[in-house]
């Protein structure tokens, strides 16, 4: 007996749900060990980086797997502070053992800086410092009589490096301080006054100062890192002049000592987003 097309479709349809459920069960059973393996692998990678990393811990903890798991399970977003939005863990039995996780930084004028954006600002600044240091070191060691002495370039790259090092020092100090605040559950009700800052000729603020009474004072955190992060990201997106990349190719700095910078595990930004750029938009390999 020949079945009609409608009967055939009906027969197939009636058999699909059990087959679909079986397939879903098998897929889950196969994928579960991989998920466990992958999660364990990432955890051990992060542990290794904790011992090896030279970056502020603030960066690694931005997307640390254990921290993200804690936020998903028990984190509550606090949005009533005028300076920082953050996750805290009031439902935990021992909430004091959980560190805050700062998410967003705000100024009175409405300017906001996301944590990921702050990490990007630090990374692109680090990238520029490595690049310019490579050129400066190579210029000082240049001894080819057939080539010019590059005196003008030496002065210019020195000024550029000084500027980017000052940027990096400020962003690093702020990151270290904010990480301490996360650990100690400190959230300011008001930012300390922002100091005067010349973006074209910045200076590095001393960590310790002497007050009028002759006593040592530790530098207070100000929100300078917020507009500074915006500034360096803008410079990064504009890119460096082609002449510096040409000079790099001629001088050939040590490729290991001055290798392009990568964030640990490429998180929270892959290299394509933090790699040094030319004015044309091309990324340095």
Strand boundaries in the chain, DSSP class E: 76-78, 84-88, 101-106, 112-114, 208-210, 216-218
Q: Report the alpha-carbon distance of residue 12 to residue 182 in Å, rounded.
A: 58
Q: Report the alpha-carbon distance of residue 188 to residue 84 in Å, rounded.
A: 8
Better-predicted residue by pLDDT, 143 or 234: 234
Q: Report the alpha-carbon distance of residue 61 to residue 142 in Å, rounded.
A: 41
- Domain residue ranges of the chain, discontinuous segments joined by +: 18-52, 119-274
Chain centroid offset of residue 257 CA: 21
CA nearest neighbour of 80 among 184, 185, 174, 187: 187
pLDDT digits (tens, 9 = 90+) for 36-71: 545 454 544 544 444 455 789 999 889 988 889 889
**For residue 216, is pLDDT > 60?**
yes
Mean pLDDT of the chain: 85
**For residue 273, is pLDDT > 80?**
yes
pLDDT digits (tens, 9 = 90+) for 163-193: 999 999 999 999 999 999 999 999 999 999 9
Mean pLDDT of 206-224: 83
Specify the pairing of strand 208-210 against strand 112-114. Answer: unpaired
pLDDT level of residue 92 (50, 70, 90 thresholds) = confident
How much is the pLDDT for 4? 47
Better-predicted residue by pLDDT, 256 or 142: 256
| Strand ordering across the sheet containing 101-106 | 76-78, 84-88, 101-106, 112-114
Better-predicted residue by pLDDT, 40 or 206: 206
φ, ψ of residue 114 in degrees (nearest 5): -75, 150
- DSSP lists the bridge partners of residue 85 as 104
pTM: 0.80
Contact (Cβ atoms closer than 8 angstroms) between residue 232 and residue 121:
yes
Two tokens at 127? 């990238």
Dihedral of the CA atoms 209, 214, 220, 222 (nearest 10)?
-80
| Long-range CB pairs of 25-31, under 8 A, 24+ apart, other chains included | none
- DSSP lists the bridge partners of residue 217 as 209
**For residue 91, is pLDDT > 70?**
yes
């Amino acid at each position: 007996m020949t079945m009609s097309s409608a009967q055939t479709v009906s027969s197939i349809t009636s058999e699909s749900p059990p087959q679909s459920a079986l397939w879903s069960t098998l897929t889950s059973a196969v994928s579960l060990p991989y998920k466990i393996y992958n999660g364990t692998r990432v955890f051990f990678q992060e542990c290794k980086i904790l011992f090896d990393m030279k970056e502020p811990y603030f960066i690694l903890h931005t997307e640390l797997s254990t921290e993200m798991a804690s936020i998903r399970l028990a984190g509550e977003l606090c949005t009533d502070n005028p300076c920082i939005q953050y996750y805290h863990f009031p439902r935990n039995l021992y909430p004091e053992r959980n560190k805050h996780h700062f998410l967003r930084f705000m100024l009175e004028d409405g300017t906001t800086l996301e944590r990921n954006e702050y990490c990007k600002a630090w990374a692109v600044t680090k990238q520029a410092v490595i690049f310019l240091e490579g050129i400066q070191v190579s210029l000082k060691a240049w001894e080819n009589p057939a080539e010019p002495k590059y005196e003008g370039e030496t002065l210019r790259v020195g000024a550029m490096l000084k500027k980017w090092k000052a940027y990096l020092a400020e962003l690093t100090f702020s990151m270290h301080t904010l990480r301490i605040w996360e650990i100690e559950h400190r959230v300011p009700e008001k930012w300390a006054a922002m100091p005067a800052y010349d973006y074209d000729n910045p200076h590095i603020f001393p960590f310790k100062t002497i007050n009028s009474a002759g006593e040592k004072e530790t530098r207070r955190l100000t929100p300078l890192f917020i507009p500074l992060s915006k500034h360096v990201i803008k410079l990064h997106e504009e890119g460096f002049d082609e002449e510096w990349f040409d000079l790099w190719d001629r001088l050939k700095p040590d490729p290991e000592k001055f290798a392009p910078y990568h964030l640990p595990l490429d998180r929270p930004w892959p290299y394509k987003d933090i790699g040094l750029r030319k004015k044309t938009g091309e990324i340095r390999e």
